Amino acid sequence: MSLMFNGIGVSRGTAIGQAYLLRRNQIDVASRTLQKDTIPAEVRRFKRAVKMARAQLLTARDNIPKDAPSDVSSFLETHILMLDDAVLSQRPVEIIKTEMINAEAALQQQREELIKVFGSMDDSYLATRIDDVNHVIDSVLRALDGGTEHVLGSEQWKGQIIVADDLTPADTVTMQHHGVAGFVTETGGQLSHTAILARSLGIPAIVGVPNIRRYIKTGEVITLDGRLGMVLAEPTEEMLTDFRRQQKDNRLRLRELAKLLDTEAITTDGVKIRLSANIEIEEDLKALKRVNADGVGLYRTEFLYMNRETVPSEQDHFKVYTKVVRALKGAPLTIRTADLGADKQATGQLASRTRPQAHNPAMGLRGIRLCLSDTSLFIPQLRAILRASARGPIKMLLPMLTTVAEIKQCLKLVEQVKQSLREENIEFDEKMPIGGMIEVPAAAIEAERFAKHLDFLSIGTNDLIQYTLAIDRIDDQVDYLYDPLHPAVLTLIKMTIDAGLKSGIPVAMCGEMAGDARFVRLLLGLGLTEFSMPPNLILETKRNLITCRRATLKKQVSTMLAAHTCEERQVLLDKINASAPEN
């Protein structure tokens, strides 16, 4: 009998293959009291285990494909740094010596201490990072156990789908190296390092399928749909035929989309649409070029502050921005100033300045609030962006704005930086546009006032929806409330677009909604003509928009906004999308 399992699809793509159940030996940590004269030997045993775990991570890092994004190696480097940190490499030694207990028990005791510390931070991002601590500690425990069976690396797994309780970043990299078709895990979420790596490496993946290993056997054929988050076990021949047809259709769809590379994004009634890309690292530029994007609509700069021990200097910023703007060869680059805080934390020296003990970090000192509170962080970035603006068309985007006063503070700082550059005879674009992100309800309501001080607006839907509906979108107990069609959300988006039109400044959208095929026609009907999204969604969005007439959509969307219930709105949205190409 066929069984269907649903989880969180974290990396798009489909796979058919035999399941391989990864059952690692659970380490039974028993505490033993040591004789005083055996303590030195126990310390040496612990240090050998740390060394062995480190060697395994280095091996995984060395096996990373050359064309893999840089964040892949960064995750492994983070785990290596964690192993080198005194918290994990020295503190257990102290526990062994002072409490005279075995290495496993000392390490377990330290794990419990760290869990308490992370748990008290009340931060969803840090809650995810405790997974990394556990991965690193487990690797040492297994080394202490004398085994290396947990290290993935078998050629026989080529084409198979790994089913595991959890996977470490090292596992994920090694899996890709050995050509596995995909993976399913019982735990994990969208923001886990394993999920991020799966997306970066292009491995179809689903996480968060509890107890799936109880129902699947090694060797059993299963299918995986990373977009829908669906696993099918023991599929019938008819199901397999249908799944293979879907895979074939998807390949055909991608080939058809490729034909749109040089097609202009214009609706049937002549409205020009701007389709830009969201990027985070230089390697994303390759993907942007593959789809002929109209430039970069959102360049996230937080990566400059992560996985490093020191605060990035003005020159660090300048080098990166210059490289990107040159690579774009005249296409516009929108650089968002550091949006640190909440789910994007810095590391190293900067961590203590960006990670205050807030009860609710998402509503605390983050984004522009943090930059204005510590201008020693902000000014080097402002100088670098302005200096880079002399090398190509750059716009500056300010995140997490809530008040006009914040805008005025930012503009005053920018003017001070400009003046210092003039005095130093350093070139920059005097007219570099400065825009603001609309991602809190107050900003959307005040958009018309914001527009009087800014050159453009950009709607960040992820946070806008979260703050409007007062829900944490990564909290699976309330994520069902995360509804982009909520009347309040649509009203705020429309208010922002209308404010831009009234003030004569452009309004773009760079949140996930902009690249979601279910909503792009709705957004066009609301008046949006500038979309920015991950590069791999651009051609699909273009195909969706060039086949429609905006004037018709405006009427349909107007009717939809007047609907009173979610059901009515969904029916009307289905009608709007009815003529869209199949996604």
List the structure tokens of 223. 């299918």
Question: What's the number of CA atoms in the CB half-sphere (13 Å) around residue 251?
Answer: 7
CA distance 324 to 55: 35
CA distance 427 to 386: 8
Feature table: binding site for Mg(2+): 439, 463
Q: Active site includes 566?
A: no
- Nearest CA to 525 out of 544, 506, 505 is that of 544
CA distance 320 to 420: 22
Feature table: binding site for phosphoenolpyruvate: 300, 336, 462-463, 473
Question: What b/e sequence results for 363-373 when a residue is b if at least 16 CB atoms lie within 10 Å of its CB, and e otherwise?
Answer: eebbbbbbbbe
- Nearest CA to 344 out of 364, 374, 359 is that of 364
Helices (H), 63-212: 70-84, 86-89, 91-99, 103-120, 124-144, 169-177, 193-201
- Nearest CA to 232 out of 252, 209, 251, 260 is that of 209
List the structure tokens of 257. 């989309």
Q: Active site includes 453?
A: no
Phi-psi category of 347—alpha, beta or left, where left has phi over 0 and alpha has psi -120 to 50? beta
- Nearest CA to 346 out of 303, 314, 306 is that of 306
CA distance 142 to 171: 14
Phi-psi category of 527—alpha, beta or left, where left has phi over 0 and alpha has psi -120 to 50? left
Feature table: binding site: 300, 336, 439, 462-463, 473
Phi, psi of 473 (to 5 degrees): -70, -15
132: three-class secondary structure by DSSP:
helix
Cβ atoms of residues 581 and 546 within 8 Å: no
Cβ atoms of residues 185 and 95 within 8 Å: no
Question: What b/e sequence results for 267-276 when a residue is b if at least 16 CB atoms lie within 10 Å of its CB, and e otherwise?
Answer: beeebebbbb
Cβ atoms of residues 49 and 71 within 8 Å: no
Which secondary structure element, helix H or strand E, spans residue 82, and what is its range? helix 70-84
CA distance 333 to 374: 25
**Residue partners of 450: CB distance under 8 A and separation at least 6:** 401, 404, 407, 436, 438, 443, 457, 499
The pairing of beta strand 530-533 with beta strand 394-398: unpaired
Q: Which of 135, 150, 371, 510 is catalytic?
A: 510
CA distance 488 to 445: 11
CA distance 514 to 303: 22
Q: Which of 150, 193, 317, 548 is catalytic?
A: 193
The residues annotated with a catalytic role in the active site are: 193, 510
